[in-house]
A and B are shown apart, each in its own frame.
Chain A
């Protein structure tokens, strides 16, 4: 049923919101938010999911920790079917979610209390909380803000606090559902570098859902989702060399790719798709 090192498996998953609580801006009653989704994420992978607004990205995210149960098909998290209610808390403990709005996911009125919230829910003994909170806050660089009220944090700091709250629960996987969409470029970079670090050092599986292309250029694998279906998957190089599909899904190429695409029209063709500034500079100095 499941390969050993697959962490998340989607088997032909479809999901339709009840007309009563319509989802991400879908209008008709019988529209599936996502349909026929089949994919796997391996333990320790860094996966990016791209899609425009209303493409079904957030629905996909919520299916990953049993906030939503598929209308048809099955989702397995570390071998546990999300349909099986007895695994519910185990699944939510191992898949942490960071949402879009920094203000709406902070529960407590001080930084340390908010990190403690998840631990309190898990019933972690008090003596164990202190070191876990310390560790989590120092990973995200908020150790000196422990006693601050969240109201006085910037948007980026709030998102880092949200990450700390999840980290303290020791998850195997973190899903970032457009968590950088409301941040300024600096805050965004910081979040991305923190999750990269977590992926490399702690081997935490990262699923980064976004529509900012430059955030995903160094993912292991990318999926493009549009109208509730996965329309393309592959490495960033493969995805961004296919401009037609990217643009067709309502997305833009990362600025560097865009630049080299245009340079290509002038006859300057690098051998492979240029994804980062550094690679671009290297190529151009080679040309000269």
Chain B
């Protein structure tokens, strides 16, 4: 089973070495920034920044392309619609009776860049950080919310167990599909409705199995003395190093730089 999102690719880059907390902060800052971008200079700078981090991380390009594949259709459709239906002032060229405007072209490029950057910055986090480290980081970052009784530890534990179970359920799904096809179920129907319907006999045993597993798991955890986050020690302790300081400083400088450009130089 191939799941490219959330897959960790081992490496020794500076970005790999950074603490999950600072990487999570970096990803969130970048995503917010990308969503708030308006001018083309801002887009350009965001793109350059994300690409620099991508180069540092040493993640092969094919993995980035792989994680883009699911949204490729979305990107193409929005581009086509933008080009065809957006009405601007300057006509670039015409296809039949449709005019393609300059503004439409820029808008499409912005849209593509935006989706591209969102995916790349998120997948840089998951490619360079193990799921355990990510959940640890999230738990730590959510810890202040404990004041308002937010169950940070429980949520992190649930996430890490969920991540543990994903490959198991993938295998299980495979098995059930094989079992059902051996009893004559059809899964390769061209008809979308038939196809959806044919997955019902897969989902039901999968769900039943999931509940059984969850129950077994909770008993096993209890018998190993699990009693929530209280009094628990940690085997892996997060360490904030100089790489994190550098990453966060650069991110901060980048953000203030862009804001300054906007307010002072009006670009």
Q: Which residues of A contact B (CB under 8 A)?
A: 62, 65, 67, 89, 92-93, 96-97, 99, 101, 103-110, 112-113, 116-126, 129, 133, 149-151, 165-166, 169
Task: Determine how close the nearest CB of chain A comes to the CB of B217; give it in whole angstroms.
Answer: 5
Chain A residue nearest to B230 (CB atoms) is A123
Do A109 and B160 touch (CB < 8 A)? yes
Task: Determine how close the nearest CB of chain B comes to the CB of A22; give it in whole angstroms.
Answer: 13
Q: Can you list 12 A-B pairs with a CB-CB distance of less than 8 A?
A: A67-B223, A92-B223, A107-B220, A109-B132, A113-B132, A117-B224, A117-B226, A120-B232, A122-B225, A126-B233, A126-B235, A129-B235
A65 to B222, CA, bound (A): 10
Knowing A106-B164, A107-B164, say if A92 contacts B224 (CB, 8 Å): yes
Chain B residue nearest to A101 (CB atoms) is B216
Partner of B225, one of A93, A101, A110, A129: A93
Task: Determine how close the nearest CB of chain A comes to the CB of B78; give it in whole angstroms.
Answer: 36
Chain B residue nearest to A104 (CB atoms) is B216
> Per DSSP, are chain A's interface residues mostly helix, strand or loop, or mixed?
helix
| Interface membership of B92, Cβ < 8 A | no
Do A120 and B234 touch (CB < 8 A)? yes
A151 to B7, CA, bound (A): 13
Task: Determine how close the nearest CB of chain B comes to the CB of A162; give it in whole angstroms.
Answer: 8
Task: Determine how close the nearest CB of chain A comes to the CB of B239; give it in whole angstroms.
Answer: 12
> Per DSSP, are chain B's interface residues mostly helix, strand or loop, or mixed?
helix
A190 to B226, CA, bound (A): 28
Q: How many A-B residue pairs have CB under 8 A?
A: 92
Chain A residue nearest to B236 (CB atoms) is A113
Do B225 and A92 touch (CB < 8 A)? yes
| Interface membership of B161, Cβ < 8 A | yes
Which B residues are in CB contact (< 8 Å) with A125? 233
Closest 5 CB pairs of A and B: A116-B235, A104-B216, A105-B220, A121-B225, A118-B224
Do A103 and B168 touch (CB < 8 A)? yes
Task: Determine how close the nearest CB of chain A comes to the CB of B164; give it in whole angstroms.
Answer: 5
Knowing A109-B132, A109-B163, A110-B132, say if A123 contacts B217 (CB, 8 Å): no
A113 to B164, CA, bound (A): 12
Give chain B interface residues in 138-164, CB to chain A under 8 Å. 160-161, 163-164
A101 to B217, CA, bound (A): 10
Do A89 and B213 touch (CB < 8 A)? no
Knowing A67-B219, A108-B160, A113-B235, say if A89 contacts B132 (CB, 8 Å): no
Partner of A123, one of B219, B221, B223, B231: B231
Which B residues are in CB contact (< 8 Å) with A121? 224-227, 232
Which A residues are in CB contact (< 8 Å) with B232? 120-121, 123
Do A126 and B225 touch (CB < 8 A)? no
Do A108 and B225 touch (CB < 8 A)? no
Task: Determine how close the nearest CB of chain B comes to the CB of A166; give it in whole angstroms.
Answer: 7
A93 to B222, CA, bound (A): 10
Partner of A89, one of B131, B168, B227: B227
Do A104 and B233 touch (CB < 8 A)? no
Chain A residue nearest to B135 (CB atoms) is A109
